[in-house]
Each structure stands twice: as C-alpha cells, then as structure tokens.
A and B are shown apart, each in its own frame.
Chain A
Amino acid sequence: MNAALAIAPASPLLEVRGVGHFYGNRLGCQEVSFDLYPGEVLGIVGESGSGKTTLLSCLAGRLDFAEGRIRYDSRSDGLVDLATLSEAKRRVLMRTEWGIVHQNPRDGLRMGVSAGANIGERLMAVGQRHFGKIRAAAGDWLAQVEIAADRMDDLPMSFSGGMQQRLQIARNLVTGPRLVFMDEPTGGLDVSVQARLLDLLRRLVADMSLSVILVTHDLAVARLLAHRLMVMKGGHVVESGLTDQVLDDPHHPYTQLLVSSMLQV
C-alpha cells in the first residue's frame, strides 16, 4: 500500500481546506482539511452522526457547503473550485470523472431497467450511440464485477444485495472515473459477501488507480481498503494519518475507544 503513496505525483487531485456545513444552527461538520492524491484511498471513519456523510455530500457536490474551499484537478478544465463551478459543469464531472457508490444500491441504480442498461446509461449520457458497443462494454463490466453474463437483461430487482452493490460499482466505473465516493459500500451485506466485495474493490482500485473517498463505520473495511484514515467525531476530524498508524497506535481518546470496541473473533 505504501508503494502507491511513494509513486504519487506531487499535485493533489482533491484539495480540501476548512470545509464546514451547518444544518440551521446544528453542526454538520467543520474545519475539515486534507489533500487527496491520485491513486489514494482515504477512509473516513467515525460513529453515526459524526459528520461523515455530511462531509461526503459536501465533497461530492451534493450539498452547498457553507465554509471552506474544495478544489478538484479535472481532466478537462484543470484546477476547478467546486463552490463556484456551475451546476452544469459539476454534473458533467459527476458522470464522467466521478462516481458515487451509495450504501443502498437502490439509491444508485435504476431498479426499473435491466442490469445492462444500468451500466450503459453513463455511456449513453456521454454520447455513446452504438448499441452493440454499449452492450459489449456492459458485458465486459459485468464480468469484471463477477456477475454472470446471462443476468445482463434481468432487472436489478431480481439480484441479491451483494450483486446489486457490485452492479452499482460497475455502473460507476464504466466511464473510467478518477475519483469515487463510497458511502458504506459494504453496509447491509453479510461477512462472506463483504469479503468478496472488498477483494473486488481492492483489485479495481489498484487496476484503475482510482482515488477513493470511503466513508465507513467499519474499521475492518477501512483497514483493508484505505491507505490513509481520518477519524471524525462531533463534526470535527480528531485524528488522521496512515491507516496502520491510526489503528495500531491511536492517540486521541475517541480513536482509542473506537479501536478497542472493534469485535475480535
């Protein structure tokens, strides 16, 4: 994992400075700053209500954050400021360079259309108009996420939870994004399915040298996938560093509590 960091180029993909958001008077998150480099997986961990998802929404442009600045190094336009980026451009980014994997696959999939169409939609959205090619790409990606080719024309409704999650990942990765936001990608899956999904994610992240921001409350998932970790509590980042460092030698009392509450089997 450290090899990925060693070869990381000097300019960050995502530059976050002092980001904060309030829901009325209530704090969502505050003073979050970090840099994310290409090919890096950043884990954000913390208990429910610690501001993880709020932060992710700010980063992914789903929330107009109140404070701070987020800059993204886009393929087409160079460094862009997300706060001042027009909605049109932001949505183009979202379907070309970004991917969002939701905790509940129902939020990220079109449940009424076939698995192939789910994968093909992003291709059609960026202008692909050749049915055969779209279908070939969809078949390719189904194979990548280990879904049998004969399920291509079935509705996601008929898939198991793990398959739906894998389909959602394929749908996001088909246009070759650079940055993927994942909100509890393994939540709600049983452990053996979780393990397979984690293996898959690890492989895809390495193969495509994806940058990932991974929100999870599951420290085991974070340890497996994340290069770096940020621990959040009450809307603030209380500790950050390399994953092994944070988990094996936690400094902040809350991180110590979090690590010690991990189930040991």
Chain B
Amino acid sequence: MSDILGGYNFAYLDEQTKRMIRRAILKAVAVPGYQVPFAGREMPLPYGWGTGGIQVTASVISADDVLKVIDQGADDTTNAVSIRRFFAKTAGVRTTTKTAEATLIQTRHRIPERRLTEGQIIVYQVPNPEPLRWMEPRESETRKMHALLEYGAMHVKLYEDIVHFGRIATSYDYPVRVNGRYIMAPSPIPKFDNPKMDGMPALQLFGAGREKRIYAVPPYTRVESLDFEDYPFEVQRWDQSCALCGATDSYLDEVITDDRGGRMFVCSDTDHCSERRAASDEAEGDGIRRPVEEEAAE
C-alpha cells in the first residue's frame, strides 16, 4: 500500500462522505429505479466527466477490488485512463482492462459486451438522471409524477418520434421501467445495451454528480424498455461486421480513416474486440479479418 498517494484518505473521499453515499446507495437498491438525493461533493474533475460515478465508485471500492473504467466502450480514452489512474493512486487498487477480471466497473456510455456476472458491480456516470425532464422542467412536479405513476408524458416523446421519423428514433438514454414501477433514465448508453440491463446478475449503480442523485438496479431485476404495442422496442443493427474482429453481434463505432470518405466499423468495446482477436490469433495465426468491401474499395 506504500504507493498510495500521501495525505489523502483511502479512495480520496473522507469516511463520513462515503458513509453518506453508501446510505443513499442502500436506499437506491431497496427502491429500484428511484432517484435518491445525496450531498454530492466537489471532485477533482469537472462536472460532466463522471463526478457522480467516481463518488459512487469511491464509496464502494475496497482494497482488494479490481477496477475497470470504460468511456464509450474503450479502456484507453482520456477519461477512462484518468479515472483508473486516480483510483490506482488514491486507493492502491489493481486496475484492469479485462471485463472478466474486474470486480468493479465504472462506465460512461456503454455496458460491456461480455455478460456481467454475480459479484460484479457496474457504476454508470449519469449526466441527466430525470427521464421526465424533457416534458416537465419542474423538479417538484417530476417527483410527484414518479410518486403517482403519471408516466403518460414519457410516451408522448416516443409518439413524437414515430410521427417525425416513422419509428422510435431515440437511440440512447432510452427510458426503461424498472421492476414494473419507476421509469428510469439508463444514462446515455445506446439502446443496444438496454436488453443487457434486464435481469443482469451484477449490481448496477448510477451516479449523477451535477444533479446529485443516485439510483440503482439490483441483480436480477426486470428492466423493460418503453414502447408501443404496434411499434415494439428494437435495438440498432448494422450491415457491417467489426473490421478488426469480425463480430456481428456487438455495438459498432464508425471510424473515419482518411479524408477521402474512407471509413470502417469497429467494436466500441475494445476489450471484447481484442479478446476475440486474441482467440482467433491462437486458432489461425494472423487472424485479423478485413471486411470484403474495404478491400474492394482500395
């Protein structure tokens, strides 16, 4: 533990604060999907960079945890690297980029492709915890709407989508109903990831730093995406497969490769992609599969 930064408490936050946040988390787990207010602290990074998630992580992390941090599915982006290093320095925990090894995962915008297991905790960074805010600007009113199950307004948004785009065009932060009760914003994950939340064996915690709210989905909880009977919920699909690992069932990012219109689609989950490539390397040597249309374009 000698490599822990001197002068700071374990995991940066003081024990009283952690206790306060843990109480909020316990309440959030007890009432799935309900937004519990908490006294958010100033953190050494700006609002919008994950101040909520980092406080939740700091409160639940222990010395023997293995931490993974992802940003848009990638382990090597600035935000992910900084937060991982932050906890390596202030808590001295082991960090990893492998989903399977991690006991604690802090994420922004994605859920890992690999199915999470019992005993893992995933912490989401949430910019806007209130799904009803789009229709109702008053906090006092949205709380009442949650309390009284007045969720008609949520479908108005989906209705408008169909009217304007012919389908439900909301593609991220897609509203869900948790445990048949509260409507919840799943944070800006793509709706591709929504089905993963349903009945997930891992504990899901959500922290919104600016709005000072914590909410949770306990393991094996029902999470339904809202829809209409004649316009059922569906996830994004791609015509392409991943240009690096050939996966057809993962969430793909479009990457611009030059200024002449060249582009390729690759897995947004970097760990998932490299794991698949390593596996096929073992199997067939070179292993890297390039999509047919890329070669044709050259």
Which residues of chain A have a CB within 8 Å of any CB of chain B?
87-88, 91, 95, 110, 113-114, 116-117, 120-122, 124-126, 129-132, 134, 153
Contact = CB atoms under 8 A, between A and B. Distances in A.
12 contacts: A91-B150, A95-B152, A116-B159, A116-B163, A121-B152, A121-B156, A124-B152, A124-B156, A129-B155, A129-B229, A130-B230, A131-B229
A117 B135 CA distance: 12
Given A121-B152, A124-B152, A110 B163 contact: no
A124 B159 contact: yes
Given A110-B135, A121-B152, A121-B153, A131 B159 contact: yes
Contacts, number: 53
Nearest to A118: B156
Nearest to B145: A91
Given A120-B159, A124-B155, A124-B156, A153 B135 contact: no
Nearest to B228: A131
Interface residues of B, number: 19
Contacts of A125: 150-153
Nearest to A114: B163
A131 B231 contact: yes
Nearest to B149: A88
A18 B164 CA distance: 51
A149 B144 CA distance: 35
A213 B92 CA distance: 70
Interface of B: 135, 144, 147-148, 150-153, 155-156, 159-160, 162-164, 228-231
Given A110-B135, A130-B230, A117 B160 contact: yes
A153 B161 CA distance: 11
A50 B152 CA distance: 36
Given A91-B150, A110-B135, A125-B152, A117 B164 contact: no
B278 to A, nearest CB: 45
A113 B155 CA distance: 12
Contacts of A117: 156, 159-160, 163
Contacts of B144: 87
A91 B145 CA distance: 10
Nearest to A112: B135
B138 to A, nearest CB: 14
What 4 A-B pairs have minimum CB-CB distances, sorted nearest first? A125-B152, A124-B155, A131-B228, A124-B152
Given A110-B156, A122-B152, A124-B155, A130 B163 contact: no
